[in-house]
Chains A and B, each alone.
Chain A
Amino acid sequence: MGDEKLNNQIAEYALRLGDDALVFGQRLCEWCADAPTLEEDIAISNVGLDYLGRARMALQYAGKTLGRTEDELAFLRDSGEFRNLLLVELPRGDFAFSMVRQYLLDEFELLFFAQLCKSKDDTLGAIAAKTVKEVRYHQRRSANWMQRLGLGTQESQARTQAAIDQLWGYMPELFEMDELEASLLQAGIAVDRVELHSKWLDIVSAQFASANLQVPESDWQVVGGRKGVHTEHLGHMLGEMQFLQRAYPGLEW
């Protein structure tokens, strides 16, 4: 494989990771001054800052090859050019929805970034090493919330179970490999997502079982983000997020 082709593939891979972090970080921003407690407001900001930091690192890296800055990538692409997972673009919902999504993602990211630490690409490895440390804290918090919400009141249990049911069909996309990622896996750069699935399911199932929550039996699944086919929600998010750069193009802020 030629260097240029490989570099382009790595850039595309970094773009996916960057978009995941950016879009999720943006959703977390929507909790500002709206959390159930002031302590939780602070915690969500902490997590959001980690995601924004990760987004910046990954987009800067992708942008080096793509010839675009992090801000050009974040603010000047339309939804069809975004490569994030559908899971992270869904509207934030209630606190149960946001926290279940956080938990499902945290358990995945712990496994994923632990593997990515071993990447033969030094920059991706370094991003992963930093991310693993952050995600450990995220996971500790979201796993605690699964316990509190699942074993709290009837209402909290019902809301949390409903969130799990609503989110479950977006999980298969996290474990999907395509040609690009398979090729980068061969090169020792990307992570084998398929391999993570059974371990992730075991961990999540055990956590849910201990918190009076059920793993859904339904087998629906929705995918498309990696190809730029998104839910209707992403366009609205971008309309808001990109407003200034679109209305006043080409300026320094």
Chain B
Amino acid sequence: MAEANDLVQAFDNKIHAEEKIEPKDWMPAGYRKNLIRQMSQHAHSEVIGMQPEGNWLTRAPTLERKSVLLAKIQDEAGHGLYLYSATETLGITREEIVQALHDGHAKYASIFNYPSLTWADIGTIGWIVDGAAIVNQVALQRTSYGPYARAMVRICKEESFHQRQGYESVAVLARGSAQQKAMAQDALNRWWWPALMMFGPHDADSAHSAQSMLWKIKRKSNDELRQSFVDQTVPQAEIIGLEIPDPDLKWNEQRQHYDFGEIDWDEFKQVINGNGLCNRERLAQHKQAHANGAWVRAAVAAYVKGKTGESGE
């Protein structure tokens, strides 16, 4: 009993001293479970996020845009891989992590349940969705679990590149023809509120927040992060002449922040609970690709077994 207490004490001391928890360190079961949930959700988001962007890959308007988009999606796949590996350090296999997604136990960012309908959505996803993700991820660079924090440092570098590319792409549309500008505005109208929802419920309503803050898995609250995102994005929209679709949005001199309207939490719940336009398709596509690849993975396993069998004899 004394020993167990020592372990808890050592863990708490590390958290308090801002030292990273490493895979071989003792950690409370709840801490491990919470991390597996958050990190695997993060990894799945990178992977499922490839779908709405891939939707425009074969229709990109120029060869340069096509190359940039392919490279970006490849980065997302790389982030997914990196985060799956980081999650595996917690004692769960990639097969189990993917199975949990297929079973519906693990989630991915609900924003990818919205459809990418025009080319402007691709730039907007980079600007707004990656922009929101970065705000979250910059804070996570100081998360208490070492492999997660280090993954975030690397991922943030690439994500901020994506965010700038996306913004530049939207800027070109915004100063283009009337149709292009309308396309850009329409995309912002559709993605703005879902992007604000990416930060999750208000702090008071957030199921995992309090404990995650104590364990320093989360470093800033949902509402704090959301405010940072709004503050940084509103001037960006103004520069390129697009309008944030929120009549309540205005600068608050006293707070030195933007005030903004209330999120439609009913829509948030609807989409999380399966009633977004793409929920079933996103998961079905992932399952289908996985199923289609089963014979390939079986071939690799048989080949490796055959080879090691040979050399073993």
In A187-205, the 8 Å CB interface with B consists of none
Name B285-313 residues within 8 Å CB distance of A: 285-286, 289, 292-303, 306
10 interchain residue pairs of minimum CB distance: A36-B293, A152-B299, A156-B299, A45-B74, A32-B54, A36-B296, A253-B61, A244-B61, A33-B50, A148-B303
Is the Cβ of B59 less than 8 Å from the Cβ of A52? Answer: no
B166 shortest CB reach to chain A, Å: 13
Tell me which residues across on chain A come within 8 A of B298, comparing CB atoms.
152-153, 155-156
Q: Are A243 and B293 in contact (CB under 8 A)?
A: no
Number of interface residues, chain B, beta carbon within 8 A: 47
State the B residues within 8 Å of A (CB): 47, 50-51, 54, 57-67, 70-71, 73-74, 77-78, 80-81, 84, 119, 172-173, 176-177, 179-180, 285-286, 289, 292-303, 306
**B61-A245 in contact (CB<8A):** yes
How many whole Å from A96's CB to the nearest CB in chain B? 8
In angstroms, how far is the closest chain B Cβ from the Cβ of A6?
A: 27
**Smallest CB–CB gap between A61 and chain B, Å?**
14
In the complex, per-residue mask of A220-248: 1 if CB is within 8 Å of any chain B CB, else 0:
00000000000000000000110111001
Contact B293 A95 (CB under 8 A): yes
A: number of interface residues (CB 8 Å): 48
CB pair A32 B47 closer than 8 Å = no
Asked if residues B67 and A152 are in contact (CB atoms below 8 Å), the reply is no
Query: A152, B303: Cβ atoms under 8 Å?
Result: yes
Report the Cα distance A159→B298, complex, angstroms. 13
Select which of B50, B80, B119 is within 8 A of A253 by beta carbon. B119
Query: Chain B's interface: helix, strand, loop or mixed, by majority?
Result: helix
User: Across the interface, which residues of B come within 8 angstroms of A149, CB to CB?
Assistant: 296, 299
A-B pair number, CB within 8 angstroms? 133
A35 to B73, CA, bound (A): 13
Q: Which residues of A contact B (CB under 8 A)?
A: 22, 26, 29-30, 32-42, 45-46, 48-49, 52-53, 55-56, 59, 70-71, 74-75, 94-95, 147-149, 151-153, 155-156, 159, 240-241, 243-245, 248, 251-253
What separation, in Å, do the CA atoms of A251 and B62 have in the docked complex? 11
Q: Which residue of A lies closest to B57 (CB)?
A: A29
Question: Please, could you name 8 A-B residue pairs with CB atoms under 8 Å apart, sorted by A?
Answer: A29-B57, A36-B293, A38-B80, A45-B73, A56-B64, A152-B302, A159-B295, A253-B173
Whether A148 contacts B172 by the Cβ 8 Å rule is no
In the bound complex, residues from chain A placing their C-beta under 8 Å from that of B294 are 36
Chain B residue at minimum C-beta to C-beta distance from A48: B70
Q: Name the A residues within 8 Å of B301 (CB-CB).
A: 152
Closest to B67 in A: A52
* Closest A residue by C-beta to B48: A33
- The answer to whether residues A56 and B67 also contact, given A33-B285, A38-B81, A251-B180 and a CB cut-off of 8 A, is yes
With A148-B299, A152-B302: A252-B172 Cβ-Cβ less than 8 Å: yes
The answer to whether A248 and B179 have CB atoms under 8 Å apart is: yes
